Amino acid sequence: MKKKILVTGGTGYIGSHTAVELIDSGYEVVIIDNLHNSEAGVADRICQITGVKPELAVFDLCDAEKLENFFAVHRGIEGIIHFAAFKAVGESVRKPLEYYRNNLLSLINLLESMKRHGIPGIVFSSSCTVYGQPEKLPVTEDAPIQPAVSPYGNTKRICEEIIRDSVLAGGNIRAVSLRYFNPIGAHPSALIGELPRGVPENLVPYITQTAYGLRDELKVFGDDYDTPDGSCIRDYLHVVDLSKAHVVAVNRILEGRSRENYEVFNLGTGQGVSVLEAIRSFERANGIKVSYTVTNRRPGDIEKIWADPSLANRELGWKAVSSLDDAMKSAWEWEKQIRKETK
């Protein structure tokens, strides 16, 4: 009998890719999503890729009563991967209370239900934003947690602390927080990918929409940072590589291989890439020039950060294998496909 995994936010960008990898690995997947930044049709796309359509429950995790009713009906869930959250750094600066209410309350409700229903494990979608602007690069899991530069980053830090404290309080829960860096790209089928509503907050969808002609030009937020070309530096990670790490983390919990009841891993490539280098990678991979202009720095942005993923490489047996150009090519194929469908 297949083990059942709940994926919250499973019709979203990373959640949908992880649902695909879970199904391909032999798991039964159930999704909860409020469709705040995604569409119900993503479940059909997952089916097109895997041959299996995951069950989708549409409601908000902040509604404790609906969540409790869900668990009363869906027995036998053995693990949870928790993606559901508001996630845009810039928006969080403008709407901090919305981010705190949504991201914290949804997690608290989930943990309370887990304990009531005896669900043993949770993998949490965390972020490198918990490190703030690190004092030392690349960043290891032992790096000090810095004051967050955005409310979004602060919610990830607080959520990690809530999970850690819940695990320490007992109840036979094991947890893994995956601190990932900057996911980009799309599934090679071009059936799922990143599709933000409105103006993109993340770099790569802004690049692809500009290349397609939906945006006049790309805005580069600052070229006066203390970096080789003056633009921010990030660790860009292919979303399929990232999704595979979640499957490995779930396996680790369910097979009892965790070294501690609460573990943390960085997920990245270990390579720092500037915004301007990322634009050149897209142009190189796809043979397209992207029009851009440099504007003022964006509040909440970190200057430079990239991962030391050696702990995940060693303990999880996971490693990012796709190149930056590979990710940029897949992002462009997805952009073209989705625009073809919406014509």
- Asked whether residue 68 falls in the same domain as residue 104, the answer is yes
Q: What is the pTM of this model?
A: 0.96
Which of these, 18, 24, 11, 114, lies nearest to 59 by C-alpha position? 11
- Of the pLDDT bands very low, low, confident and very high (cuts 50, 70, 90), residue 268 is very high
- Asked whether residue 64 falls in the same domain as residue 210, the answer is no
- The label of the residue with tokens 């955005």 reads 150
Instruction: Identify the pLDDT of residue 95.
Output: 95
In DSSP terms, which residues pair with 307 in a beta bridge? 139
Does 171 have pLDDT greater than 80? Answer: no
Measured between alpha carbons, how far is 267 from 197 in angstroms, rounded to an integer?
A: 26
Provide the sign of the torsion angle of the four alpha carbons 78, 83, 85, 89, taken in this order.
positive
- Of the pLDDT bands very low, low, confident and very high (cuts 50, 70, 90), residue 199 is confident
Of the listed ranges 6-15, 131-140, 193-202, the one predicted with least confidence: 193-202
Does 299 have pLDDT greater than 90? Answer: no
Does 147 have pLDDT greater than 90? Answer: no
Is position 152 annotated as part of the catalytic site?
Answer: yes
Residue by residue, DSSP assigns 95-132 as: -HHHHHHHHHHHHHHHHHHHHHHT--EEEEEEEGGGG-
- Asked whether residue 170 falls in the same domain as residue 215, the answer is no
Instruction: Identify the pLDDT of residue 341.
Output: 87
- Asked whether residue 172 falls in the same domain as residue 214, the answer is no
Residue span of the structural domain in which 283 resides: 203-233+271-312+323-341
- Of the pLDDT bands very low, low, confident and very high (cuts 50, 70, 90), residue 254 is very high
Measured between alpha carbons, how far is 226 from 81 in angstroms, rounded to an integer?
A: 37
Provide the sign of the torsion angle of the four alpha carbons 136, 128, 246, 78, taken in this order.
positive
Catalytic residue among 13, 99, 131, 152: 152
Mean pLDDT of the chain: 95
Does 343 have pLDDT greater than 80? Answer: no
Average pLDDT over residues 211-238: 96
Q: How many domains does the structure of the chain reveal?
A: 2
Does 96 have pLDDT greater than 90? Answer: yes
Measured between alpha carbons, how far is 341 from 343 in angstroms, rounded to an integer?
A: 6
Instruction: Read off the CATH number of the domain in which 227 is found.
Output: 3.90.25.10
- Asked whether residue 16 falls in the same domain as residue 76, the answer is yes
Residue 190 lies in a domain: no
Residue 197 lies in a domain: no
Which of these, 172, 164, 166, lies nearest to 121 by C-alpha position? 172
CA dihedral 16, 6, 122, 181 (to 10 degrees): 10
Q: 35-52 pLDDT, tens per residue?
A: 998 999 999 999 999 999
Average pLDDT over residues 4-16: 98
- Asked whether residue 9 falls in the same domain as residue 158, the answer is yes
Region label for 26, one of left (φ > 0), alpha (ψ between -120 and 50) or beta (otherwise) = left
- Asked whether residue 254 falls in the same domain as residue 304, the answer is no
Instruction: Read off the CATH number of the domain in which 125 is found.
Output: 3.40.50.720
Measured between alpha carbons, how far is 57 from 40 in angstroms, rounded to an integer?
A: 9
Are 237 and 183 spatial neighbours (Cβ–Cβ below 8 Å)?
A: yes
Average pLDDT over residues 304-317: 97
- Asked whether residue 25 falls in the same domain as residue 88, the answer is yes
Average pLDDT over residues 295-303: 89
- Asked whether residue 13 falls in the same domain as residue 123, the answer is yes
